[in-house]
Amino acid sequence: MWKDRTLLGQLLETFIYQELRRQAGWQEQPVVFHHFRDKDGAEVDMVLEQGGQIAGIEIKAAATVTGADFKGLRKLKDATGNRFVAGVLLYDGEALAPFGDGLVAVPLSLLWEMG
């Protein structure tokens, strides 16, 4: 099963979505979950909205990321303007890596270390 990277990616997205929904329940102010796709097909796996602010989350079942992996997050940032506060790409790597203004690659393992 783990040789099928597409299936692994889908399972990982589902698991992370459920984990984020659970953690969102701890917030005093509601967090609303959306999906983003523009007319050109650029997409973001999850868009979280809280208090009028927008954060995008992209999930990659890969140990490395490149600037191209942030295409959907950049499109979301452009579409939402000053409401955009962060674009996070969760990946199976080991290091935090900035990718420009408000965009960062974050190891999946940190999802359980952030408080």
User: DSSP alpha helices (H): ranges in the chain?
Assistant: 5-24, 71-80
CATH number where 10 lies: 3.40.1350
pLDDT band at 1 (very low <50, low <70, confident <90, very high): very low
Cβ 4 vs Cβ 11: under 8 Å: no
Cβ 70 vs Cβ 100: under 8 Å: yes
pLDDT tens digits along 65-91: 999 999 999 999 999 999 999 999 999
Q: Work out how many domains the chain is built from and give that number.
A: 1
Q: What is the mean pLDDT of residues 9-33?
A: 86
Q: Closest Cα partner for 36 from 1, 68, 84, 2?
A: 84
Cβ 47 vs Cβ 76: under 8 Å: yes
